[in-house]
Every structure is written in C-alpha cells, then in structure tokens.
Structure 1
C-alpha cells in the first residue's frame, strides 16, 4: 500500500508539472481562436505553424539567441574559473584567515546591499549598457563557492598535497595537474548550474541594458509575453488589430517553446549532475 500511495502521488505531481508544458507546446501549433475559446485540452486542433514561421523570420529572436549564448558562454567561463580557484583556496587549512573569509562569503547569502546600491556600483564602474553588466556582478555565487570548498575538503586529502610538495610541486601546478583532474564532478556541477542561471537570466538585463541590440532572449520573450511588443517583421502583413492580436497569442506560446527548448533537450542528460550538486552541498565540512 505504501508503494501504491507513493507511485500514485508522484504520478499526480508529474502530470501537474508536465501538463502546462505540454499545453504550451500544443497551443503553439493550434488555431489561436480555439485556444482562446478554451477548446484545447489534450491534443492540437487545426494545426498551424504560422507562429513559428513568423518567429523564425524575425531578426530580434535570432539576435536575442546570439546574445544569450554569448552571455552564457562568457559568464559560465568566468563563474567556473573564479569559483574553482576560490573554493580551493578556502579548502586549504594553511590559508591565513580562512574562517574569516568564509564568514564574509556566507554573510552575503543572508544580507545584501540591495538593488539601488548595486545599480549605483555597476554604473560607477561604467558597466551599464555593456556586456559586462551581464557577467561581472554575478561572477561568483556564494552557494557555489561553499559547495566547491566542501567538495575539495572531502575529496582531496592533505597527504596528497604533502607528497606533491616533497616532489617539488608548486601550489599552482598542484591545482592544475592534480586537483582539477580529480574534481571533474564538481566542475560539471558548477558549469551546469552557472550555464542554466545565465540562460534564464533576465533581471540584470532589465535593469542594466537599455540598448535593444544587447538584450538576451529572455528579455525579448518578456517583451512579447508581458508587454505584447512585437517587431514589425512579425506582424507587418496584418492590417487589423484583431488579426495582430490573434497571431500574437499563438506566437507567445511559440516563443516560450523556442526559448526553453535548449534547456529541455539537455536537462535529461545532465540531471544526474544536478542531483550530485545537491548531495555535495549537503555534506558537512
């Protein structure tokens, strides 16, 4: 009975999570009039690809894709380098003031300066309306730094460092040649966490970026979903406002699918690394 209850409950939760996504997908290829009338439930009706055709013919979507990929690659590279080096330094027992530095990092997880002071800082550094506003303010995550430090403390024995020092190995060489090859799981975890965070990020772009040419895909998606701001290329052949509103509805669902597709495709293959990241953070150290 216990197994029956668990499977039944998990099945209900699975349906509750998957159905909204399924509904978005079938709505993106169905007649928008039927979607608005609430006649769409389990399968697409009067299938049409008009929304996707208009989306992929628009340069704004492709520009947003390009910007998002660039921010994700650059931001993830910065995150991984700084997090691994910082986490390794904090894991070393011979680091002077290690506990004090750890306290300062953990303190930021509970208290922050707020949006306005952060914006003033970014502005004073001349990063407003530049690509650096998307990657520098969140270059290091305190949570990622803590789980990285915990991994190094529990995985890399101090005897290994002592043996390397006896053989004349420097700290830098020990980190690059010994620590990193033994730490591929945490490298994968930090890379995936950072990449997903950058891909879904839109709040920083909303605050710091005024130039439309720098907007990531998530801002383009937000403008279409919330503000109904569509480029002229999307609706230039539609005369009446009713026609534009009709097409806008089906395009909204299509844009959600287009923006979410890369993560949806990759997630089943990297799910185990997300679970491993949670387990690493749960270890005491």
Structure 2
C-alpha cells in the first residue's frame, strides 16, 4: 500500500485527537513521575500514547508501532520494512513549564527512511504534515494547509541557527564561531526541525542526545520541504536500526552552499 493523501489526513486527525487529550490535562493539575533515565513522565504522555495506539490499529495500513512509551512491545519492522514511529508527547519538559512548545509526533518509516510525518503542537494549534511525493505543509489554527519550503541562505545575511533556549553548550558555540555572523533562534521539541522546514531558520545543529521518535516525523517534513537531516559525517539520519534508539549528533539544513560537516574537523 502506497502513502496517500488520505492516509496522511488520517494520521493528522489522530495526532490532533491526541493533542486534544493532552490539552485536557494541560489545563488542570497533573501528576509527574520519573522514568528510569530520570526524564519526566506525565498523565498526558500516557493518555496520548493509548489514544494513538488505538487509532493506528484502525488504519488500513497496518504496521508495528515503536512508541516512546512502550518500546518493549516493538519486535521490529514488518516484512515490508515498515513501522510507525511515535512520540506521544515530545517536549514533556516544555509541557511541564507550560510554554506551549511541545508536540505530538507520528511518522511512518519504510526501509529506514521516514516517508510520512505529522508534527502537531496542540497548545499553539500549529501543525506540520508531509509525505513522500506529496510535499510538506503547515497549518495554523483553522486555516487551510500551506505548502512550505526551506530557505536559501543569502550570502550577505547572518545565519539563523536554531539553538537551545537555556544554554548553547561548548560544541555549538565552537561551531558558531567557525560559521561566522549568526543569530540564534530558540524553540522547544521537534518544532526546532520544523523551523528549518518552513524557512524561518537556516540550520539546526543537534549536538546533544535525542531518540528516534524525537526526529522521525519532523525529518520527513524537512526532507519533503527540500531540506536534509544528516549525521556529522554527511550521511542521512537513519531509522533502520531500532535496537539502538539513540540518534547520533545531526544537522538539519535548508538550502546553502556551506559544507557543514567540514566545520567539525
């Protein structure tokens, strides 16, 4: 079964329903637990996870699901090399801070590559959807989807680089020194990648830990908008090895003529 506009719309509906469940909890007091890796877990993470799992099971395209909230149940991709990759609530720390910069991420992976991606930020009512061959689109509020495209960096303009809201880190600062004139654009969750996809930023160097489910959906948005998501060696970020859920460091790039991987040598 090929990826269709109908399937993309169905997944977008699922992400928005999960967003509604998250916002119901966001509007009241909620419990916060701690996972084994010391990261926070809220009622909203669990509510969104269960809703997404139930709804994906009803889709005509059936594939195993790798969700951040239930990695133990995932046995690998199906015979077609496909699986759903889900982060029910990306940016739990942002959710707890109540700054609105958290998302629902749902991607379809095929042979290690994201071929469909939905990123929905329920507190902002902003969504990004993309699929191979269909393009990448953004919605704000109840407006119709608008096609998005990465920006072409102009040589006489400073680089717009997505960075951490709280601290940049020594590795990023060293990179920016080599890059030259720049300005930092701050954002939380997978929205960082989407800023590059829609041309609001030129690049997002991620020099810290992330997991597969943090990036899969937004990577599809970036790629279908004409950008790229590559490791520091220049190879595309891959989702083929699900036994290792941590991503290597990576770069999210729009259109430019700078050899970014070379900046790390």
Could you tell me the TM-score, scaled by structure 1's length? 0.25
Who wins on radius of gyration, i.e. which is larger? 1
Q: Which has the higher contact order (CA 8 A, sep 6+)?
A: 1
- Structure with greater proportional helix content: 1
